[in-house]
Amino acid sequence: MPRIDTLLSSFPRAPLLSQPTPLERLDRLSEELDVDLWIKRDDLTGLSFGGNKTRQLEFYVGAARAAEADAILITGAVQSNFARTAAVAAAKYGMQAVLQREERVPGMDPLYYSNGNVFLSDILGAEAMSYPEGEDEAGADAALEARAEELRAAGRRPYIIPLGLGHPPLGALGYVQGGAELASQIGGFDAAVVPSGSGATHGGFLTGVRLAGITAPVYGICVRRVADQQKARLEQVTAELAKLMNIPRPFAGADILTWDGALAPGYGRAGPATREALQRMAAAEGILLDPVYSAKTFAGLLGLLAEGTIRKGQKVLLLHTGGLPALFAYQNELGFGSVTP
């Protein structure tokens, strides 16, 4: 098997992040939970609040630049970190960002539509459009393609970052690299816990650590779909990723682990377990998590410990994927920090 650097070097890449991101031991939580707990700080990928999408975008923006694009189009939830980070990357490389905001989370209050990533994307000069559905990947992709067609007709060169399956998962390459980077920092671990949404992070990370020779379980904590649906999605993402890299997938299907005990009350909603996990990390370690992904991932770690899947004394790695701007859009949903004047 060729070296990971060699495998990745054939893909165009636009530098966006400061790497390696820090790997830190969580001393107080390690003691409280009786595990040897480490955190990979991909919330610190830099460049306007960073997060996991910065790694993914290095490859998408690399492809966009190679295609001489002058606009980047992306679709996602209203509070999408991917959209905000795409707006950041587009600004950095002198392209127009077009963000399509899907109604994925019913019943949210006005802060959700104005603050956090929405607010930042507006400052960054992104064009915004909305899509009335949240569970219609094909329809959302078609609406974005229609906007791209208008731009082409106006003489522009749009590049679409696709979210649905069936496209080469360029973003997952960022986490092949991220997994390899972590392996060189940590050596080994007994279990890793990562969020599993589109699957680019989970699938890329699993591929990266396996290529680096680590065989320990990697638990994908479901943030959007139930465990068996998410596992099926990961089967496809990791097969497409191996094909993209032109290697055999370096693990068997049984190696794809998904856990949905922290998913309730559903995508983009923060229930009591999410809220508790968020506050526990903040109070014990001074590290902020986000309500949609990283707090659920930490809640997943706590759940896996409680059920004995992860055991006392083990060396455990938690991947912090960022997403912090969403905190400001979820203030009312979380119920922290109200002051009565």
Name the minimum Å distance from CB 198 to ligand PLP: 3
Residue 246 burial by CB count (10 A; 0-12/13-18/19+): exposed, middle or buried? exposed
The HSE-up count of residue 184 (CA atoms within 13 Å, CB side) is 12
Name the phi and psi angles at 76, rounded to 5. Answer: -175, -175
Q: In whole angstroms, what is the distance from residue 121 CA to residue 45 CA? A: 18
Q: Return the SS3 of 145.
A: helix
Cβ-based nearer residue to ligand PLP, 62 or 204: 204
- Is the CB of residue 202 less than 8 Å from the CB of residue 223? no
Name the minimum Å distance from CB 319 to ligand PLP: 9
> Which residues are near ligand PLP by CB under 6 A?
51-53, 81-82, 195-202, 290, 293-294, 321-323
Residue 159: C-alpha distances to residues 80, 139, 149, 224, 315 (Å)? 18, 18, 11, 26, 42
Name the minimum Å distance from CB 50 to ligand PLP: 10
Structure tokens at 87: 């707006």
Cβ-based nearer residue to ligand PLP, 75 or 196: 196
Cβ-based nearer residue to ligand PLP, 70 or 328: 328
Residue nearest to ligand PLP (CB): 323
Structure tokens at 201: 């992070």
Name the minimum Å distance from CB 280 to ligand PLP: 18
Which residue in the list 9, 30, 80, 338 is annotated as catalytic?
A: 80
Cβ-based nearer residue to ligand PLP, 250 or 323: 323
CA angle (288, 17, 328) in 5-degree steps: 30
Cβ-based nearer residue to ligand PLP, 250 or 325: 325
Q: In whole angstroms, what is the distance from residue 135 CA to residue 141 CA? A: 11
Name the minimum Å distance from CB 339 to ligand PLP: 27
Q: In whole angstroms, what is the distance from residue 76 CA to residue 25 CA? A: 33
Does residue 80 carry a catalytic annotation? yes
Catalytic residue IDs: 80
